[in-house]
Amino acid sequence: MKREQLEVYFIMGSQNVKSNEPLAVLEKALQAGVTIFQFREKGADARTGQAYEDFARACQKLCQKYTIPFIVNDDIELALKLDADGLHIGQDDLSVKEARKRIGEKILGVSVHTMSELEVAIQFDTDYVGIGPIYGTKSKDDAKPATGTRFLNQVATNYPSLPIVGIGGITPENTHEVIRAGGDGVAVISAICESEDIQATVQLFKINK
Ligand SMILES: Nc1nc(C(F)(F)F)ncc1COP(=O)(O)OP(=O)(O)O
Ligand SMILES: [Mg+2]
């Protein structure tokens, strides 16, 4: 995975798209030029069973149409079953060691909040780390307090070759702070899912770097 692929990292599940059709939102985001997609279907209203798998396959098919990496959040069984391009795990999911063993060469992303979590991620050849929440977020009900860009900048300074994406409350207005602090890209849920003009919003993330 090239670090430029983290430039605009769109993350979505049906729970993030109340009003309209999630697949229409995803296609608009892909047409607008998001550079990587994460399937993150979770929470009370998340689809389950066959509907969950069918929705994941439909998202994967759209990503293939636009040759954009399709990453699955948390669910390694789904990632393997669909032969996804990668998996993203956090500290409460399966271990980095176990994930790397089972997914082989697929892209592995890990959320890290401390230097010790970072060192474990690096030990098992993590392709990128997600750091946040940088700002307050409403997309993750068990999110930790917002940290600002300090830890992200510390990681970027100490590990210049490690791809980093910032996450949490990132908008076109504050994205430059994340990039200036050392992020290779920004992960976005609400700013795109709730946008009136997805094309314009995605372009702003690219321009405001
Ligand atoms: N899903 C994520 N994606 C990223 C990425 F780097 F891809 F931007 N960074 C961080 C997270 C948060 O991951 P996690 O801590 O497991 O919580 P959840 O499973 O609720 O998302
Ligand atoms: Mg997780």
Q: Is 133 in the pocket of ligand 1 (CB under 6 A)?
A: no
Total residues found in the chain within this entry = 209
Contact at 8 Å (CB) between 109 and 128?
yes
Contact at 8 Å (CB) between 165 and 186?
yes
Q: CATH number for the domain including 82?
A: 3.20.20.70
209 by DSSP, 3-state: which? coil
Reported as a single tens digit per residue, the pLDDT across 65-96 is 999 999 999 999 999 999 999 999 999 999 99
- Ligand 1 geometric centre to CA of 130 (Å): 7
Name the residue of 8, 75, 111, 184 whose CB sits within 8 Å of the most ligand 1 atoms, as the mutation to test its pocket.
111
d(CA 194, CA 136): 16
d(CA 72, CA 48): 15
Q: Is 88 in the pocket of ligand 1 (CB under 6 A)?
A: yes
Q: Is 37 in the pocket of ligand 1 (CB under 6 A)?
A: no
Q: Which residue has the tokens 């690219």?
A: 206
d(CA 96, CA 190): 27
Range of 20's domain? 3-207
| pTM (2 d.p.) | 0.97
Closest atom of ligand 1 to 187 CA is 8
Q: Is 195 annotated as a binding residue?
A: no
Contact at 8 Å (CB) between 4 and 184?
yes
The ipTM value here is 0.98
For the chain, what is the domain count?
A: 1
What is the average pLDDT score of the chain?
96
Closest atom of ligand 1 to 71 CA is 7
Reported as a single tens digit per residue, the pLDDT across 135-187 is 999 999 899 999 999 999 999 999 999 999 999 999 999 999 999 999 999 99
For position 209, what pLDDT does the model report?
A: 85
Q: Is 139 annotated as a binding residue?
A: yes
For position 18, what pLDDT does the model report?
A: 79
Q: Is 42 annotated as a binding residue?
A: yes
Reported as a single tens digit per residue, the pLDDT across 7-51 is 999 999 999 997 669 999 999 999 999 999 999 999 998 999 999
Q: At 39, which helix (H) or strand (E)?
A: strand 36-39
Question: For residue 34, which amino acid is it?
Answer: V
| Helix then strand then coil, % of the chain, to nearest 5 | 40, 15, 40
